[in-house]
Amino acid sequence: MRRVKLFTIDALPYRQPIPVYGYRFGSRKKTLAVMGAIRGDEVQQMYTAARLVRKFSELEAAGTFAPDCGVMVVPCAGQFSMNVSKRFWPLDNTDINRMFPGYGAGETTQRLADRIFTALQGYKWGVHLASFYLPGDFVPHVRIVDTGYQDNEEGLDFGLPYLVIRKPHPYDTTTLNYNWQVWETRTFSVYSRTTDRIDEESAEMAADSVLRFLAKKGMLPHKRPESVQQFLSEKGMLGGEFPEGSKTKTVKEEKLVNIHNKAGGILIRYHHPSDFVREGNLLAEIIDPYTTDVRERICSPADGTLFFAHHAQLIAGRSIVFRLIPGK
């Protein structure tokens, strides 16, 4: 493992410049890059990337990387926002993940996007440990933006429960995922359950999915000396192979059913992501914050599996409370 300083976040009020580090493993070839937290509330994404640093370090020490495999992991590039507990850039509330590919002579977040993108360019595959624009919990899944440059079948190699194909909207053209693809990196966004709090189980699932992807691509070869076989066995990779993971179901994002509330108030959830629900099942209630009277009961409009659930307890009217994968 080699820790390298990629760039510094400078021009900060009353603060010293903040270094941004990447961790390199294997050869110098640009095989896979993993980007962790960009926004200031992406604690789960930073933690997942840190787990990957630990796993890759152990695998490298055991000699399991293919000779032509080079990996870089960037756990966090949003330290300033994270230090002051702001999701977006604190000085002007702009989103770095809406500034790619960046502009070296532009505003602060444009310059940061440019530095991040420069550090990540040239890799064959890229994984962004991403978060959603709504506060909530997900079923762990891998997401691909349908740019025309992607290979949807490769998303199955992560072994996560769902592969979501998203048709890009105009605002997607300034995200890391979209621009990575345009610059010829085959890119995937991996979502675990949470964003602003650590969920160890889904973080481990997301980290293992990246290792599984590399193994499927032959970058962590199965045939190894006996000592390495023992190492892999101890790490739960019996026989030198990573567990197959889930049987992945492919879903087009436009097929997801958004379930909205009408009234604002306190959200009381009765179901969670991955729950299978029947049409008419009570999913949540909105209660009056001053009297606790029930303002609204939210029921499932169809049979299906809950894909996303809003988790902030105070909710405004006309919000997306759940997203549902319809069908059995």
- CA–CA separation, 157 vs 43, rounded Å? 25
pLDDT digits (tens, 9 = 90+) for 77-115: 999 999 999 999 999 999 999 999 999 999 999 999 999
Residues 203 and 274 in one domain: no
CATH number, domain with residue 207? 3.40.630.10
- On the question of pLDDT at 288 being above 60, the answer is yes
Q: Is residue 46 a contact partner of residue 53, using CB atoms and an 8 Å limit?
A: no
Residues 154 and 242 in one domain: yes
Residues 241 and 266 in one domain: no
Is residue 141 exposed (0-12), middle (13-18) or buried (19+ Cβ within 10 Å)? buried
Is residue 179 exposed (0-12), middle (13-18) or buried (19+ Cβ within 10 Å)? buried
239: left (phi over 0), alpha (psi -120 to 50) or beta: left
CATH number, domain with residue 314? 2.40.50.100
Residues 93 and 40 in one domain: yes
> Percent of the chain beyond pLDDT 90?
82
Residues 243 and 223 in one domain: yes
- Going by C-alpha positions, the residue among 258, 322, 268 that lies closest to residue 295 is 268
Q: Which amino acid is at 212?
A: R
Residues 227 and 104 in one domain: yes
- Going by C-alpha positions, the residue among 111, 116, 92, 119 that lies closest to residue 10 is 111
Residues 49 and 193 in one domain: yes
292 is in which domain, residue-wise? 256-326
Band the pLDDT of 274: cuts 50, 70, 90: very high
Domain tally, the chain: 2
pLDDT digits (tens, 9 = 90+) for 44-76: 999 999 999 999 999 999 888 999 999 999 999
Of 252, 279, 300, the residue at which a domain comes to its end is 252
Residues 322 and 221 in one domain: no
Residues 317 and 262 in one domain: yes
Of 236, 252, 268, the residue at which a domain comes to its end is 252
Residues 112 and 245 in one domain: yes
Of 229, 252, 275, the residue at which a domain comes to its end is 252
Q: Is residue 310 a contact partner of residue 132, using CB atoms and an 8 Å limit?
A: no
**Helix and strand numbers, DSSP H then E, in the chain:** 6, 18
pTM over 0.75: yes
- CA–CA separation, 215 vs 254, rounded Å? 31
Average per-residue pLDDT for the chain: 91
Return the structure tokens found at 326: 């319809």
Residues 288 and 247 in one domain: no
Residues 111 and 53 in one domain: yes
